[in-house]
Amino acid sequence: MMKPAKRVESLDLSGIRKMFDMVGEDSINLALGEPDFDTPPHIREAVKEALEEGFTHYTGNTGIIELREAISHKLRTENHIPTTPESVIVTVGASGALYSSVNALVEEGNEVIIPDPGFVAYDACVKISGGKSVRAHLKDENDFRMIPEDVLEQVTPRTKVIIMNSPGNPTGGVLEKEDVKGLADIADDHNLILISDEIYEKIIYGKKHYSPASYSDNVITINGFSKTYAMTGFRIGYLSAPLKLTEELLKVHQYTVTCATSLSQKAALAALQGPQDGVQRMAEEFKRRRDLVVGRLRGMGIDCKKPQGAFYVFPPIDNPEKLVEEALKKDVVLVPGTSFGKYGEGHFRISYATSYEDLKEAMDRLESLDF
């Protein structure tokens, strides 16, 4: 039998999705990072209008100009990133932006510094590109921040890219301004590219989000609409890159997907141009859920930090695999920390992107366990 490429054989299927496949009829799924809110009505209406108008064909490879202009405006005014529509590529989700970026930059033998614990796709994209992941240990005592001094110690002549993520998955950690600027300085000083995954930027509590592209030109900013606007199924995201890199990134994007879905691009445009009050309401509700989960876990004797962003908690526990297994017997789906890298060992992740009522019931079921 023909064998697949070794770089593909070396990949594991996502531990998150494995847990998702275990969801039963009565299960409460705390494994998946998907907002439970409905996509706002004005965004759905934009899709209906585009469909009625017959906007169902290919768009340009980089995306429709109106959307790229809106994204560029958002990045300039909100994130203080000096970008232009020509520097923006509309992608198939933030995951598509990540894949195009890594595969356009990384060659066989290059090193990529990634956060660990971190989003499962970082290491997978590096392996597919032929590169090698170097894991920056995000520690509990540092609130799971990516510390520039620690990252600098891992830079070698083979380093090509650093990936950062704030607010972070799976930890909910948020980088401070000095962290972000420090990582940008490392990219400048060592002629590296810093890929900044900012998909959770709007889901942040009592902190301010900082974009490294406001401090350095050596940055690719990745973002999307899935988390902020509850648009996971639309599969629409974007990247903003230095103009000298955009054409190279476009080559990978073009030959992988051609272009993002036309209807989803109209939905994304409506999301950016329409009312934003729903975004704040969602963030406030996530904060309420966070406080519930953290309080209940602490009441069970679990030393759970209060994350400052995203919609995850990542508590330490002696035997997380046993907890995950026992929780499944109570129809509560969790994810072991090792799904997010070797430094996730001794932790588990809860996603509180589900209803307050389901979270209360899930906490009741977990409290009944012997762990």
| Structure confidence by residue, pLDDT tens digits, 132-153 | 999 999 999 999 999 999 999 9
Q: What is residue 8's predicted lDDT score, i.e. its pLDDT?
A: 77
Q: What is residue 11's predicted lDDT score, i.e. its pLDDT?
A: 74
If you average pLDDT over residues 272-280, what whole number do you get?
96
CATH fold of 41-273 reads: Aspartate Aminotransferase; domain 2 (3.40.640)
Has residue 357 got a pLDDT over 80? Answer: yes
Q: Per DSSP, what are the bridge partners of residue 348?
A: 336
Extents of the domains making up the chain:
6-39+277-367, 41-273
In terms of Cα–Cα distance, which of 215, 129, 204, 107 is closest to 165?
204
* Alpha helix (H) residue ranges in 115-242: 120-129, 148-154, 177-189
In terms of Cα–Cα distance, which of 228, 198, 192, 200 is closest to 211?
198
User: What does the alpha-carbon distance between residue 14 and residue 124 come to, in Å, rounded to a whole number?
Assistant: 9
Has residue 22 got a pLDDT over 70? Answer: no
Q: What is residue 7's predicted lDDT score, i.e. its pLDDT?
A: 76
| Percent residues over pLDDT 70 in the chain | 96
Q: For residue range 293-306, what is the model confidence (pLDDT) as tens digits?
A: 999 999 999 999 99
Write the CB contacts of 85 (distance below 8 Å, at least 6 apart in sequence). Answer: 65, 68, 69, 71, 72
Burial class (CB in 10 A: 0-12, 13-18, 19+), 69: middle
If you average pLDDT over residues 61-71, what whole number do you get?
98
Q: What is residue 283's predicted lDDT score, i.e. its pLDDT?
A: 97
Dig out the tokens for 157 from the structure: 């002549």
Q: How many CB atoms lie within 10 A of CB 272?
A: 18
Dig out the tokens for 24 from the structure: 């039963």
Q: 6-39+277-367 and 41-273 share one CATH topology?
A: no
Q: For residue range 146-201, what is the model confidence (pLDDT) as tens digits?
A: 999 999 999 999 999 999 999 999 999 999 999 999 999 999 999 999 999 999 99
Write the CB contacts of 77 (distance below 8 Å, at least 6 apart in sequence). Answer: none
Q: What mean pLDDT value characterizes the chain? A: 95
Q: What is residue 370's predicted lDDT score, i.e. its pLDDT?
A: 74
Q: Given the structure tokens 């195009």, which residue do they identify?
A: 100
Confidence of residue 12 (pLDDT cuts 50, 70, 90): confident
Task: Please give the CATH number for the structural domain made up of 6-39+277-367.
Answer: 3.90.1150.10
User: What does the alpha-carbon distance between residue 277 and residue 289 come to, in Å, rounded to a whole number?
Assistant: 19
Has residue 266 got a pLDDT over 70? Answer: yes
Q: For residue range 310-325, what is the model confidence (pLDDT) as tens digits?
A: 999 999 999 999 999 9
Q: What is residue 18's predicted lDDT score, i.e. its pLDDT?
A: 57
Has residue 17 got a pLDDT over 60? Answer: no
Q: What is residue 3's predicted lDDT score, i.e. its pLDDT?
A: 74
Q: What is residue 2's predicted lDDT score, i.e. its pLDDT?
A: 67
Confidence of residue 1 (pLDDT cuts 50, 70, 90): low
If you average pLDDT over residues 96-116, what whole number do you get?
97
Q: What is residue 13's predicted lDDT score, i.e. its pLDDT?
A: 67
In terms of Cα–Cα distance, which of 272, 216, 287 is closest to 295?
287
**Structural contact between residues 221 and 209, judged by C-beta atoms closer than 8 angstroms:** no
Q: For residue range 26-41, what is the model confidence (pLDDT) as tens digits?
A: 899 999 999 999 999 9
Q: For residue range 231-259, what is the model confidence (pLDDT) as tens digits?
A: 999 999 999 999 999 999 999 999 999 99
If you average pLDDT over residues 49-53, what whole number do you get?
98
Q: Running DSSP on this structure, what letter comes out for residue 316?
A: B
